[in-house]
Amino acid sequence: MNLTRRNFLKTASIAAASVPLSKVVAKAETTVAKAPLIPMGSFKDTKTVTGGICEMCFWRCQLVGKVRDGALMKLEGNPKSIDNGQAICARGNAGVKLLYDPDRLKYPMKNVGKRGAPKWQKISWDEALDTCAKKLNAVVDKYGAQGLAIFPHGASAKYPMHYFERVVGTPNVSEASFFQCRGIRDTAYLSGFGTTPGEHVDMANAKVIFGLGCHFGENIHVSHTKRYLKGLENGAKLVIVDPRYSASAGKSDIWVQIKPSTDTAMLLAMMNYLIESGKYDKKFVEEHGEGFDEFKAGIKEWTLDKAAKECDIPAAQIKEVADLLAANAPNVSIHPGRHVSWYGNDFQRERALACLTGLLGAIGVPGGFVKPKGPGGVKGKSWAHVEHEHPAMNIREELDIYPFTPPGTPTDLIRKAAVEGKPYPIKGCVAWGQNPIQTVPNQKMTIDMLMQMDFVMCVDVMPTDITMYADILLPEASYLERFDYIKKGTQWNYADKHEQFISARMPLVDPLFERKDGVWITNELAKRMGHEKLIPVKNQQEAVNIALKGAGLSIDKLKAENGIHVQPGKDPYGISEDFTISFNSEEVADAGFPGVPTYIPVEKPPQGFMRLLYGRAPVHTFNRTMNNVWLNAAMPENPVWVNDKMAAKLGLKEGDRVSLVNQDGVKSRNTTSVKVTPGIRDDAVYLYHGYGTMNPLMTVGHNQGIDDQALITKLAVDPETGAHGMRNNFVKIVKA
């Protein structure tokens, strides 16, 4: 501001010398014209367009757009929503800046430079699609369908994923949302409860909320966060287990500052204590449990003292937490977590969480684990499975490993096969909305995989790290410009009137430039690859109308209902008589893994190194939002959290510029600042994930902050699932 004022005065002085007053050139940050002197606000002379469904993250809140002269001015929560209501988060609010980001992909482009150092040439859709079809078919002809690898992410990537998986026939499909995020949780709970858990804990009506690494507030999903806050408002006690004093720890009644990677030991000790002191729900266990005796015997060694030592926390605190849960059972939320691929011992930890939930009888009761009921009827139509004469070889099945894998093939198996050419070459790659470079550990190997491909095709909204490696890069319509996802559910608080809702994503504005939706792109590609007759839906509208039809709805009907159909709901509480929880899972044991949840210690930091922990920034969804000018301005970089005593020992002060170097000698490409705090253990450092993109075409986010993924070179594969633990890497801090 001083600068501004000085400029003002200087200009006055120059003006005095008879030079015309010059105006400051407005920075062209969007295609929207310069702001008016007195902004009009979003509420007058705008059209309210309904049917928006957010995808700044994957919770997908319901939106309305305020549109003036065809331009989207503002996004708001749809007032009709019984999920997020009128609230949306920072990212949701910033969707306007994604929509009009000048760095967005605008036209189909061909890379006439090198992979990794691309030179882009604008081409027509015909040329782009013809090239993609020719090159992909060439790979299939030479290597079979198994020669293709597909990396999809997001609502629009499902349709092309089904095409490549079911019609072209490649098993090499890997979704980051499973293998680097929540897949372990889903299959672990399946083996315990017989159902995937989502994040369906009734926190709003809980007496205790127990979160292992949950950092609500930094991880924002609107209706989920509303449940959490309602629970706190209603007087729930909050227990947060985390090496770091997270935003949730800041609201907790008990913060357990656990040693990273030892969580399962704590859970086992809590359960052993509850059993030995008779403080578990005996009736529930008798009626619904199986394998309890083996379980009881199997965890007997985990005394409070033994766990206290392993976890580096007081035994009394473990007891305090267990007693608090027992005293308030069954109305307690044992949160299953979301991103759970941490240490490579995660399946067992998730099994332990499921068992703790069962031990407390916290299923189907207010405050417990409760799945929403309905609405039914919605059924989408996608590509049908094609029987192939010579089905492609599924690497995982061939190796007979990772029996509890989530759907798809573990990313590293695909990557390893591609790099080694064994058991077969993988020479074609399609990345659709996913950025494996900032998702999968060991960037170099991911890049090696891309470099050896005969052909790489990327479809995205924005440039990301992986788009630098594309041969053909296709611009997709954003979530604000297309039809696709059906969002359904119930009212956010089970204590309120039972209602269900169904909504479908509809465009709030038309796509600009030559951006196209995923159904169109996939169909046009399929036509050219020789599969025209198998196309299941003509266009995106038809896909949505077919999905809605089963619920007696259509796009037109939803529009007439302001984007959301609300109908009477059902009481979600209660539990079926045959509900079974496997304290000892014979299925898991038969596969050669511990059937009783077991703590598996992992590598400790080498001398002089600290464990690299990472998590969500409230204003960012990984790399996807890093180029958003509003979100970048809110948190332009990711300071590294360093324990205050450790910082003093290392001679680091708040704000010092530093690089990080990991155990394999990999140094961060960029620097960041030091955040000195007592709120983290001295054997770990913490970064927000997703920063420091290497793509210079992300002109706002490029090289801002440190890319944590670049430092995660070592894989910690979870043996049951094949998913990738990412917290077994260690770093040193180097002054910049």
Partner 1 sequence: MQYGMIIDIDKCVGCHACTIACKAEWEVPAQFGRNWVHRLGPAMTSAGMAYTFYPGLCNHCDKPSCVDVCPADPVTMEFKDSKSGKSVTMEVAATWKDPFNGTVQIDKKRCLGCGACADACPYGARYVNPDLADDNSEGKADKCTYCMPRVGEGLQPACVQTCLAGARIFGDLSDANSDVAKYVKKGAKGMTSKAVQIGPNSRYFGSKKADLELLFAAAPQEMPEANLRRNMLARMMKPAMKSVTNIGLAGLAGTLLVKSLEDDDK
Least Å from the CB of residue 331 to partner 1: 22
Give the nearest distance from C-beta 84 to partner 1 in angstroms. 7
Work out how close the CB of 198 gets to partner 1 at its nearest, in angstroms, rounded to a whole number: 19
State in angstroms the smallest separation of the CB of 77 from partner 1.
7
> What is the three-class DSSP state of 47?
strand
Kindly state the tokens that stand for 606: 């080498």
Written as six digits, the tokens of 331 are: 């109305």
Give the nearer residue to partner 1 in terms of CB position, either 378 or 629: 629
Contacts within 8 Å (CB) and 24+ apart, 442-448: 442/712, 442/713, 442/714, 442/715, 443/709, 443/710, 443/713, 444/713, 445/415, 445/419, 446/415, 447/116, 448/419
Would you say 45 or 397 has its CB closer to partner 1?
45
Cβ-based nearer residue to partner 1, 254 or 451: 254
Our CB check for partner 1 shows the closer of 246 and 357 to be 246
The Cα–Cα gap between 736 and 729 comes to 21
CB within 8 Å of 59: residues ≥ 6 apart: 221, 222, 223, 224
Nearer to partner 1, 247 or 551 (CB): 247
Give the nearer residue to partner 1 in terms of CB position, either 29 or 293: 29
Q: Which is nearer to partner 1, 393 or 634 (CB)?
A: 634
Q: How many Å apart are CA 643 and CA 648, to the nearest integer? A: 9
Nearest 5°: the CA angle 4, 10, 15 is 125
Alpha helices in 537-678 (DSSP H): 540-549, 555-560, 586-590, 629-634, 644-650
Q: Residues 346, 549: contact at Cβ < 8 Å?
A: no
Q: How far is CA 177 from the centre of its chain?
A: 6
Nearest-approach distance from CB 256 to partner 1, in angstroms: 13
Asked if 654 and 675 touch (Cβ cutoff 8 Å), the reply is yes
Those residues whose C-beta lies under 8 Å from the C-beta of residue 7, and which sit 6 or more positions away, are 24
Q: Helix or strand or coil: residue 602?
A: coil
543: tokens are 């896909």
Closest distance to partner 1 from the beta carbon of 637 (Å): 13
21 or 117: CB nearest partner 1: 21
Residue 18 pairs in a beta bridge with none
Q: Which is nearer to partner 1, 472 or 680 (CB)?
A: 680
Contact 734, 688 (CB under 8 A): no
CB of 168 to partner 1, least distance (A): 41
What minimum distance in Å lies between the beta carbon of 205 and partner 1?
17
Is residue 668 within 8 Å of 660, Cβ to Cβ? yes
d(CA 131, CA 121): 14
Question: Smallest distance from the beta carbon of 652 to partner 1, in angstroms?
Answer: 16
Per-residue tokens: 297: 């015997």
Burial of 555: CB neighbours in 10 Å, binned 0-12, 13-18, 19+: middle
Decide whether 36 or 665 has the Cβ nearer to partner 1. 36
Q: Minimum distance from CB of 79 to partner 1 (Å)?
A: 9
User: Of the two residues 229 and 419, which places its CB atom closer to partner 1 in the complex?
Assistant: 229
